[in-house]
Structure 1
Amino acid sequence: MTLAAALIARDVSRLPSRRDEDWRWTDLRGLIRELPPQAPAAPAPDGAGPFGDLGEAELVVVNGRPLGGAQALVLAAGERRTVRLRLVSVSLETAHGTTLAVSLGEGAHLTLLESHEGLAEDYVADIQLKIDLEAEARLDRVVLAQDGALSVAVTQAHVDLAPGARLFQTTLTTGARRQRLETVVRHPGQGAHVQMDGVYLLTGRSHADLTSAVTHAGLDGTTNQLVKGVASGQARGVFQGRITVEPGADRTDARMGHHALILDDRAEVDAKPELLIFADDVACAHGNTVGALDEDALFYARQRGVPEAEARALLTSAFVGEVVDRIADEAVREAVAAWAAARRVG
């Protein structure tokens, strides 16, 4: 059951529901009673996206339609590029879906600056990304997701790594009525590496679901994951992270951490970190914490003349800043930090 299948068949019975274990906190069938009509074609929006003019090229997808028709981004062996991928929704009370392919040849390096831009409300959007990295290729995928507050949006990225390939991913989101950002990685071991980080900044009634699954299938693979979130008002944050170490994937090194702050009594965070280990000689660990702001730190800030609202915002910004600081490219890191600062939760 997927949103993509429901949109293709125009059948709400194909939507995932709370009966599906991996969707129990992001129930779509109980929310969507009737699928809206297909979104019309639309021109590119005026102005730049959140990444400005970083990079050499831009691929814009409006209402599920790639402008210019290109539905694949291909880098030849050894090629290096920085590309902005703008996924824009502009039509009220409509639905759209799209599938995009990203392929990196041997030793290629792509910095993919991906933005989800909700310029309308109450839409349904499904994005499917198929990503393949050949040997020694590197993908730096940075995602800024700001869907419409009343929208339903699902993005699923399926990543296949070859030996020696490296994936560095950072996702930041402000949520939506229902939003799920999912990454599924097939990890071959053999020197391949995954760093997969995330931040959710939620206010009002927004909902964000960061779900990931990494399957280690071979020797000597590494995965490192850090997700941090802040929820205020009546917002709901969901983190589901699963790392599976298959039989024979010895000497796997996998680490996962999720840490969240709840700023209001009616906010909610649901977390389910999982390690499924079927091999020997591995180093795997996960950590999960959910709590409130440090009252002592807040007290000391106020003692130094910082108003309470500003102090809370500064503390939450510092809390999630650890994730942003892990972005390697300085210019990209600064753009992401500015985006997060403009949407800080306090």
Structure 2
Amino acid sequence: MSVAAAIRARDPAELPGKRDEDWRWTDLRGLVREVPPPSEPLDPAATASGPFDALADEVVAVANGGDTRIGVNAGGSRTVALRIVSRGAGSHAARVAVAVGLGGRLTLLESYEGEGAYLAHAELTFEIAEGAVVERIVLAGDDAEGVSVSQAEVRLEPGADFAQTVLTGGARRQRLETIVHHPGGHAELRLDGAYLLDGKRHADLTTVVTHEAVDGITRQLTKGVVRDQARGVFQGRIVVAQGADRTDARMGHHALILSDRAEVDAKPELLIHADDVSCAHGNTIGALDEDALFYARQRGIPEPEARAMLTEAFVGEVVERIGHEAAREQAAAWVSERLRGA
């Protein structure tokens, strides 16, 4: 069962639901009773510019579905803004294939831009050759009425470096999933994310990393802030296969719940089938530090401003790990706008 299959067949029974263990907190089958008809064709040039257009050497856009490829030759370098645009009340699927050659470098500035009550699916594949360096920065701006699923599968070669940061404000239902095949061989992986949710928005950040051989490194940090009736989901699984000795993997998820009706569901997992490894995970869910809030107010800072400052600092640890300077500044501005606007 998959979202792409449901869209092709216009059959809601193909959608994943709460009986599927990995989808039990993001039930699409129970939400979508009828798959909408195909979305109307859309020219990306007819839409406003994307959030990363000014930071990239080139812009690649997919609007209301379609296929595209992004490639970097061996030893080459590209900075690409990838826009995945959804408009209207239809359903559509997009496919993006990314390939980076030996020693190549790619900065992928990826945005999801939604407007309407659509059902959208994006499938991304990454083939990262030996010694290549990729940084993927995702800003998911789906509509509050949209249903959006993005699924990325990443295959690394030894010595590759893949860094990812996903920032999202959620949707009616939203899932941003990343599956990584880690080859060991001193390849390095960073998977970070932040969800800032209000109203009735829902965001699901799911990752699965499989270490398949010796000497692999993974670092993962996800932070979330939820208020009103919003719901955040984090599922992180790191699998260390038999023989993948000397794996070094660390995962952390930390969330703030800022109202009584908001919810966070978290499931960090380590499945270790090798002996000589260094692996750990941490998970915390709580409220703002009242002592810090009191101290800020004693210094004359109004309570709404003090709360925004503290939550901004909480999320800032994720933003600061972004390597691309201009994108890091853009991400910090997005976080500030969402927190202070709320």
So what's the TM-score if we normalise by structure 1? 0.97
What are the ranges of 5 or more consecutive residues in structure 1 without an aligned counterpart? none
CA contact (8 A) 1:41 1:65 kept: no
Residue type of the alignment partner of 2:99: S
Matching residue of 1:234: 229
Q: CA deviation at 1:154?
A: 0.1
Q: Is 2:83 the counterpart of 1:82?
A: no
Matching residue of 1:244: 239
Q: 2 CA distance for matches of 1:43 and 1:122? A: 19
Q: Is 2:17 the counterpart of 1:11?
A: no
* CA deviation map 1:74-111 (0-9, x unaligned): 111011110000111122x2111011100000000100
Q: 1 CA distance for matches of 2:297 and 2:335? A: 23
Matching residue of 1:282: 277
The 1:47/1:6 distance shift into structure 2, 3 A limit, reads closer
Q: 2 CA distance for matches of 1:32 and 1:332? A: 35
CA contact (8 A) 2:174 2:204 kept: yes
**Which aligned pairs between 1:197-208 and structure 2 lie closer than 5 A?**
197-208=192-203
Q: CA deviation at 1:47?
A: 3.3
CA contact (8 A) 1:50 1:339 kept: no
Q: CA deviation at 1:46?
A: 3.9
Q: Is 2:49 the counterpart of 1:30?
A: no
Percent same amino acid at aligned positions?
60
RMSD of equivalent CA atoms:
1.0
CA contact (8 A) 2:66 2:95 kept: no
**Which aligned pairs between 1:255-274 and structure 2 lie closer than 5 A?**
255-274=250-269
Q: 2 CA distance for matches of 1:292 and 1:261? A: 5
Matching residue of 1:132: 127
Residue type of the alignment partner of 1:73: I
Matching residue of 2:93: 97
CA contact (8 A) 2:53 2:59 kept: no
Q: CA deviation at 1:48?
A: 2.2
Q: CA deviation at 1:332?
A: 1.4
Q: CA deviation at 1:290?
A: 0.0
Q: Is 2:312 the counterpart of 1:317?
A: yes
2:39 is paired with a residue whose SS is coil
Q: CA deviation at 1:335?
A: 1.2
Q: Is 2:213 the counterpart of 1:218?
A: yes
Q: Is 2:144 the counterpart of 1:149?
A: yes
Q: CA deviation at 1:65?
A: 3.1
**Which aligned pairs between 1:156-235 and structure 2 lie closer than 5 A?**
156-235=151-230
The 1:315/1:80 distance shift into structure 2, 3 A limit, reads same
* CA deviation map 1:152-184 (0-9, x unaligned): 000000000001111100000000000000000
Residue type of the alignment partner of 2:57: E
Q: 2 CA distance for matches of 1:329 and 1:89? A: 26
* CA deviation map 1:135-156 (0-9, x unaligned): 0111100000010001100000
Q: CA deviation at 1:339?
A: 1.6
Matching residue of 2:52: 51
Residue type of the alignment partner of 2:183: P
1:344 is paired with a residue whose SS is helix
Q: 2 CA distance for matches of 1:290 and 1:21? A: 22
Matching residue of 1:122: 117
Number of positions where the alignment pairs a residue of Structure 1 with one of Structure 2: 340
> Runs of at least 4 residues of structure 1 off by over 3 A?
none
Q: 2 CA distance for matches of 1:42 and 1:152? A: 18
Residue type of the alignment partner of 1:106: L
Q: 1 CA distance for matches of 2:99 and 2:53? A: 24
Higher mean displacement: 57-66 or 97-106? 57-66
1:53 is paired with a residue whose SS is helix
Q: 2 CA distance for matches of 1:203 and 1:314? A: 17
Q: 2 CA distance for matches of 1:180 and 1:46? A: 24
Residue type of the alignment partner of 1:340: V
1:343 is paired with a residue whose SS is helix
* CA deviation map 1:251-308 (0-9, x unaligned): 0000000000000000000000000000010000000000000001111111111111
1:153 is paired with a residue whose SS is strand
What are the ranges of 5 or more consecutive residues in structure 2 without an aligned counterpart? none
Matching residue of 2:61: 60
